[in-house]
Chains A and B, each alone.
Chain A
Amino acid sequence: MSIRNSLYFISAGTIAILLLIYDWIRITIDLEDPILNGLRNILTVVAFVLLFAAISSMRSRKQSRPLEILRRLVAYGFFAAALISTWGVFLENKEGTSGGFAPQNVMELLATTAYAFGIAAFVVLLLMHVGDIIYIKPEKKVRRRFQLFLAFAIAAAVLSIFRGIPFLSTLVDIAFGVSIIVAVFHIVSMNWIVFLTRKEKYKSLVHSFVLMALFGYSYASIGPAELAGGVLQFYSVPMDEFAKIVFLFLTIYFSLAFVVTVFHIPTSGVFEKKKRELDSYQNLSKVITNVMDTTEVLNNTVAVVGTVTQASKVWIELRNANGGENESGKFKVSATHKTSQYELSPFSFDRLRGTVQVKKNVIVQTVDEFAGFDLKNFPAKSLLAVPLTAHDDFIGVLYAAHEMPYAFDEEEISTVSAFADTAAVAIQNSLLFTKSLENERLQHELRIAHEMQLKLLPTSFPCTEKFETDFLSFPAFEVGGDYIDYSVIDDNRYAFVVGDVSGKGTSAAFYMAFMKGVFQSLSASAKSPSEFMMAANEAVDSTLQKNYFITMIHAILDVRTGEVDLVRAGHTPGVLIGNNGCRLLRPAGAGLGLEPSKDFGRHLEEERIILEHGDTLVFYTDGVTDQRDPGGDEFGEERFYNLLSELSSGTAEEMKGGIIRALAEFSQGTDAVDDTTVLILKWR
């Protein structure tokens, strides 16, 4: 107990003892001084206020469950009534008290004091609990009016001290009347009853009835003609007045509560349903705003709609956002409740969906209507279809079917629509989330593809005492369609190849890998570059899509003589940089996969050169010359060939470094538009 509480109790106790002494003097010498009595009454008021403060601050927590409060009220009401009715046991003077009661000895005086404080304590407890119940879901007005009632009741109690004076007596009656009127007219809203379930309402009915009886009895028992009333009147006139007001108010309140409960019982079914819908809605919102798994969101939605509407089947169709060309944009049953994809599979909802998309909610509930939507033998008599729309995007349809015809009313439709709206946003969010996960996965796959493709390129190129080679190859994206490779045909001959698959990215990368297979398997057996290229065209022509082609330059070097035999299938020319400057090697030849073998072979030319000391042979793909600067200008052939001439005095490795630097300087960070590959062969 806090210090403040102790102070309240000690003060109240001290006053009670003072009063006791005064009363003892009063009955001993038969003192009846109106002024002293008036003061005494005021002191009793102070004592009760202290008691009130002590009890109310002792309560740890307010109750908010109406039935629990009712139970307590019944208990306190019962004890109060018991106290009132058993009071007379202690008294010798039990006759009628029309003349007023007065204790005859010290024992009776003590009992009177205890009794008065006991009643006061119960009145305080009852008031606080009825306050609790009135404060359950109150309107603002109600709260204020209850305080007004208390104010008038207290006013009436205080004024009652002066009841002897005619004018003030009228005022007491007015305050009494007003407090009761205020109470009756403004506490009748009784919101707490509305929120009870049907079962609770029955209980509340019984409680209200018992309380009405208990308080009615208590009120009647403290009337002025009754013994208990007389005792209170003797001890404290304001207390008596206040207790009367409170008991009268409680009687009226619980009579009304009884009646109101009776009236609310028939509607409790509807109310419970609404409450259930609201709870489900809250639950659904909670679940779907926390869950990022689309399947879980969908399953929760159909399950909740199934519970709330008591529909026999609920399912959701979603538009396929990704997937192949044929799948994209199609609608698919994505979640079911009390039905299955298998059961729904014979029916096409295309027509119904089309209408939903335009007309929002659609109810199908006659045989004709079912037939009109191509759903002739659908196993339900009512069907409600509601669009799932998120950010103005029609993403799917929520269906609820019922075995009864005309099962869906306006209210149910609006409930289902509310669910659908919330669910749609959550579904959209989870889809986006899944998509970003998917993107992350694809990025990862692309990184792997990138690493795999790097492994398809040779790690180093051959260097002998006769020649040295080096190369560079960068895809524009993670994977590319440029191909560079070499193979050792025999002790004296090496084959080199640079190729470019039309297009970029993943599809090109697959063909690039395909080219690696073609080159590695054919180059060893081919007697000449043109024989190789013919075979390669044969392979490509029968494999590639029509609008794809591959350009390739292929050369065989004989290290004994420095002879190079070279063919070019639509590829950028080879560049020979020697003492006499730059020469382009451009024998005729169409790209691989453009012509059937017969024509291809007819057009293909082979060129032979003989390398001399210090000569450099360069093969490249058009990614080099297509590189752009920030202004959009191309690096271009001329700039590239000049660069090669400048660099030709260095080693192959130095030339490679020079080319990379020059391209980086030129592009100034502009992204390459195409894969870039260069092969450098230097004859020693």
Chain B
Amino acid sequence: MNEFKVLTRDSGNAVVMELHGFLDAHTAPDLEKTFAELIGKGKYNIVVNFDALNYISSAGLGVFMAYIDEVRSNHGDIKLANMQQKVFNVFDLLGFPFLYEIYKDQEEALKKFNSQ
């Protein structure tokens, strides 16, 4: 069984969400739950750190789509950071760079939030 883990921590006016392991149709609900919790608490500035994520499937990509509208309509954003090349390729192929701000480093993403 491929493991998947989400850790969240506050950083300034944003929340950093660290993804670990495999994100596929089986583990996507875990990530959905985390997003729903953050949004439920009114936290709309979210930086997702992909550093420890080894694999993402289309069902995993769908999770980001499911919450982006709600987050943006509350003047927040989901910013993506620290992607491994392989994971970035998947996002890139699908055209995610048109939809999301993708950063090499999570600090850049956090700076962006803090400068608002």
CB distance from B95 to the nearest CB of A (A): 3
Known A546-B65, A547-B65, A549-B65; contact A502-B59, beta-carbon cutoff 8 A: yes
Docked pose: A591 CA to B63 CA in angstroms: 14
Interface check A466, CB cutoff 8 A: no
Interface check A570, CB cutoff 8 A: yes
Docked pose: A504 CA to B28 CA in angstroms: 13
Docked pose: A275 CA to B113 CA in angstroms: 80
Known A503-B62, A546-B69; contact A594-B93, beta-carbon cutoff 8 A: no
Inter-chain contacts of A589 with B (CB < 8 A)? 95
Q: Which of B1-22 contact A (CB under 8 A)?
A: none
Known A503-B25, A504-B25, A595-B99; contact A570-B69, beta-carbon cutoff 8 A: no
Docked pose: A589 CA to B57 CA in angstroms: 19
Inter-chain contacts of A547 with B (CB < 8 A)? 59, 62-63, 65-66
Q: Which of A24-42 contact B (CB under 8 A)?
A: none
Interface check B39, CB cutoff 8 A: no
Known A502-B58, A502-B61, A594-B99; contact A551-B25, beta-carbon cutoff 8 A: no
The interface bits of chain B over 53-72 (1 if a CB of A lies within 8 angstroms of the residue's CB, else 0) are 00001110111011001000
| Contact, CB under 8 Å: A548 / B62 | yes
| Contact, CB under 8 Å: B58 / A588 | no
Which residue of A is nearest B95, CB measured?
A590
| Contact, CB under 8 Å: B66 / A590 | no
Known A500-B58, A502-B59, A502-B61; contact A591-B94, beta-carbon cutoff 8 A: yes
Interface check B96, CB cutoff 8 A: yes
Inter-chain contacts of B63 with A (CB < 8 A)? 547
| Contact, CB under 8 Å: B95 / A588 | yes
In the complex, which of the residues B25, B62, B93, B95 contacts A603, with contact meaning CB atoms closer than 8 Å? B95
Inter-chain contacts of B96 with A (CB < 8 A)? 590, 594
The interface bits of chain B over 35-67 (1 if a CB of A lies within 8 angstroms of the residue's CB, else 0) are 000000000000000000000011101110110
**Interface bracket on A:** 20 to 34
CB distance from A619 to the nearest CB of B (A): 14
CB distance from B22 to the nearest CB of A (A): 11
Q: Which of A496-537 contact B (CB under 8 A)?
A: 500, 502-504
Inter-chain contacts of A571 with B (CB < 8 A)? 93
Inter-chain contacts of A92 with B (CB < 8 A)? none
Which residue of B is nearest A591, CB measured?
B94
Known A502-B58, A502-B61, A504-B25; contact A594-B66, beta-carbon cutoff 8 A: no
Interface check A491, CB cutoff 8 A: no
Interface check A572, CB cutoff 8 A: yes
Q: Which of A534-565 contact B (CB under 8 A)?
A: 546-549, 551
| Contact, CB under 8 Å: B98 / A595 | yes
Inter-chain contacts of B69 with A (CB < 8 A)? 546
Inter-chain contacts of A595 with B (CB < 8 A)? 95, 98-99
The interface bits of chain A over 474-507 (1 if a CB of B lies within 8 angstroms of the residue's CB, else 0) are 0000000000000000000000000010111000
| Contact, CB under 8 Å: A594 / B65 | yes
CB distance from A594 to the nearest CB of B (A): 6
In the complex, which of the residues B59, B95, B98 contacts A503, with contact meaning CB atoms closer than 8 Å? B59
Docked pose: A599 CA to B100 CA in angstroms: 13
Docked pose: A603 CA to B95 CA in angstroms: 9
Docked pose: A389 CA to B59 CA in angstroms: 39
Which residue of B is nearest A573, CB measured?
B93
Docked pose: A599 CA to B25 CA in angstroms: 28
Inter-chain contacts of B65 with A (CB < 8 A)? 546-547, 549, 594
The interface bits of chain B over 91-110 (1 if a CB of A lies within 8 angstroms of the residue's CB, else 0) are 00111101100000000000
CB distance from B64 to the nearest CB of A (A): 8
Docked pose: A594 CA to B68 CA in angstroms: 10
Inter-chain contacts of A586 with B (CB < 8 A)? 93
| Contact, CB under 8 Å: A594 / B25 | no
Docked pose: A595 CA to B69 CA in angstroms: 11
28 A-B pairs (CB sep. < 8 Å): A500-B58, A502-B59, A503-B25, A503-B58, A503-B59, A503-B62, A504-B25, A546-B62, A546-B66, A547-B63, A548-B62, A549-B62, A551-B93, A570-B93, A570-B94, A573-B93, A586-B93, A590-B94, A590-B95, A590-B96, A594-B65, A594-B94, A594-B95, A594-B96, A594-B98, A595-B95, A599-B98, A603-B98
- Excluding A549-B65, A588-B95, A590-B94, 15 further A-B contacts by CB distance (< 8 Å) are A502-B58, A502-B61, A546-B62, A546-B66, A547-B59, A547-B63, A547-B66, A549-B61, A549-B94, A573-B93, A590-B96, A590-B99, A591-B95, A594-B65, A594-B98
